[in-house]
């Protein structure tokens, strides 16, 4: 008589799910809240008056970070002539994964004459994190968009080293139904070994990508280069009739990165200063 092998049931781990949607409209020259939807661990707060130019919103992930299998979805719609600034309450932490990847998807829609500053605070990648992030933008031909994504590999103050990581960041931006910007940034395998390469980060652990799409982009090129100095590089060109600035920064720490990034954002933000939470 043969014994039956015991059945092993793997426990179903709890995963975080969140979806947040925000829409801003212009009423009598003021930018006002039109729609606010939040579900799961995604929360949206408006720390200042909901009638302002721009309207300021803060995104919150109440799960305290992301790990394998977690999903976050954000959507921001800025109506005709409206202005908005969207940031995060704190750094987003991507923890070690036991297998699956964490996924964050963002969609931004800008109507005629709209202005949006998408300026989340840093994303921190921990050792053996697996994270995929997608940014999809559809903007009118006369809208203005500022996007930044700062990225930190480990916490330098804690002596952490990211030996292995799987990270993929995908941007697709369309203006007037024409693709004007596409990029993919990926790190796979040995994270620190890649960062140590001179052509990538030269040993730095803090990186940032910054993009401005605006009619006056080319005029800001030289002031931006003066601010960045040796901390990175910046280029400007015209695509589909729209001006575009793209900057890359790197630094030895998050604090050092901010010392260059914050004045650069203030220069390119145009209509408004950085969200107050960046300085808190």
53 is written with which tokens? 């130019």
Query: Rounded CA gap, 75 and 147, in Å?
Result: 14
- Whole-model pTM: value is 0.91
Ranked by mean pLDDT, the top range of 157-161, 168-172, 254-258 is: 168-172
Q: What does the domain layout of the chain look like in residue ranges? A: 17-279
Question: Which of the four pLDDT bands, split at 50, 70 and 90, describes residue 161?
Answer: confident
Sign of the dihedral defined by the CA atoms of residues 144, 219, 173, 179, in that order: positive
Q: What is the pLDDT of residue 50?
A: 57
Q: Which helix (H) or strand (E) holds 192?
A: helix 191-195
Hey, which residues does 35 pair with through a beta bridge?
23
Q: What is the pLDDT of residue 258?
A: 94
Q: What is the pLDDT of residue 7?
A: 59
pLDDT tens, position by position, 27-37: 988 899 999 99
3-state DSSP call for residue 53? coil
pLDDT tens, position by position, 52-84: 578 999 999 999 899 999 999 999 999 999 999
Question: Which of the four pLDDT bands, split at 50, 70 and 90, describes residue 8?
Answer: low
Question: Which of the four pLDDT bands, split at 50, 70 and 90, describes residue 6?
Answer: low
pLDDT tens, position by position, 219-238: 999 999 999 999 999 999 99
- The DSSP annotation for 139-188 comes to E-TT-EEEEEEEEEES-GGGT----SEEEEEEEEEEETTEEEEEEEEEEE
- Picking from 209, 207, 210, the residue whose alpha carbon sits closest to that of residue 253 is 207
Average pLDDT for the chain: 90
120 is written with which tokens? 């989340």
Query: Is residue 19's pLDDT more than 60?
Result: yes
């Amino acid at each position: 008589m043969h014994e039956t092998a015991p059945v092993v049931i793997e426990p179903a781990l709890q995963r975080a799910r969140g979806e947040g949607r925000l829409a801003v409209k212009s009423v009598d020259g003021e930018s006002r809240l039109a729609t606010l939807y939040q579900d799961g661990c995604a929360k949206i707060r408006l720390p200042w008056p909901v009638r302002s130019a721009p309207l300021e919103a803060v995104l919150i992930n109440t799960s305290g970070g992301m790990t394998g299998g977690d999903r976050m979805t954000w959507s921001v719609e800025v109506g005709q002539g409206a202005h908005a600034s969207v940031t995060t309450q704190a750094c987003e932490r991507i923890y070690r994964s036991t297998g699956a990847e964490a996924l964050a998807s963002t969609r931004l829609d800008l109507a005629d004459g709209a202005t949006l500053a998408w300026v989340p605070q840093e994303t921190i990648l921990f050792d053996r994190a697996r994270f995929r992030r997608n940014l999809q933008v559809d903007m009118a031909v006369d809208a203005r968009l500022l996007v930044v994504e700062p990225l930190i590999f480990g916490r330098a103050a804690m002596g952490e080293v990211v030996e292995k990581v799987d990270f993929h960041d995908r941007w697709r931006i369309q203006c007037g139904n024409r693709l004007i910007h596409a990029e993919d940034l990926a790190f796979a395998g040995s994270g620190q070994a890649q960062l140590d390469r001179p052509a990538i980060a030269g040993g730095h652990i803090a990186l940032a990508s910054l993009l401005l799409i605006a009619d006056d982009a080319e005029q800001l090129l030289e002031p931006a280069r003066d601010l960045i100095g040796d901390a990175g590089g910046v280029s400007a060109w015209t695509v589909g009739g729209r001006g575009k600035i793209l900057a890359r920064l790197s630094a030895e720490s998050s604090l050092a990165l901010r010392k260059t990034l914050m004045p650069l954002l203030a220069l390119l933000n145009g209509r408004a200063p950085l969200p107050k939470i960046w300085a808190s």
